[in-house]
Amino acid sequence: MLTFSERVVRLALTIPPCKVTTYGRIAKAAGAGPMASQSITGILAKAYDAGEHSIPFHRIVYADGRIWVDDKHRAKRMKLYKKEGIVLDSNDRIKDFRDKLYEFK
């Protein structure tokens, strides 16, 4: 049986190109409640540090469609969004969020 952290990583790896999902949706699909969404970034960062470098961090966004980005990662992420046809507004929110939203089955 997989741990919650292992389920989180597996789910993150299944987010298809050109789609995004939220921290909360990953937490729920992994079997936890909404408060667990606060742990998703930490879990994925640990997995990345342990060698899982294919995590599509740019495809995981806040519930309101806003992306997380800092100055260090902005240029790379903007290229990834452009490549995947994900358009952002001036407030770093996905313009067609509902259309781009990926729901786990």
Domain boundary assignment for the chain = 4-98
CATH classification for the domain delimited by 4-98, as one of 1.20.1540.10, 1.10.1060.10, 1.10.10.10, 1.10.3720.10:
1.10.10.10
User: What average pLDDT does the chain have?
Assistant: 97
Name beta bridge partners: 20: 101
In 1-105 the beta strands, taken as DSSP E runs, fall at 21-22, 60-61
Q: For residue range 56-78, what is the model confidence (pLDDT) as tens digits? A: 999 999 999 999 999 999 999 99
The residue to which tokens 């470098």 are assigned: 53
- What global pTM score does this model have? 0.94
Give residue 94's pLDDT band: very low, low, confident or very high (50, 70, 90). very high
Percent pLDDT > 90 in the chain is 97
φ, ψ (nearest 5 deg) of residue 48: -60, -45
Residue type, 93: R
- The total of other beta-carbon atoms located within 10 Å of residue 39's CB is 17
Query: With bands split at pLDDT 50, 70 and 90, how would you rate the model's confidence at 34?
Result: confident
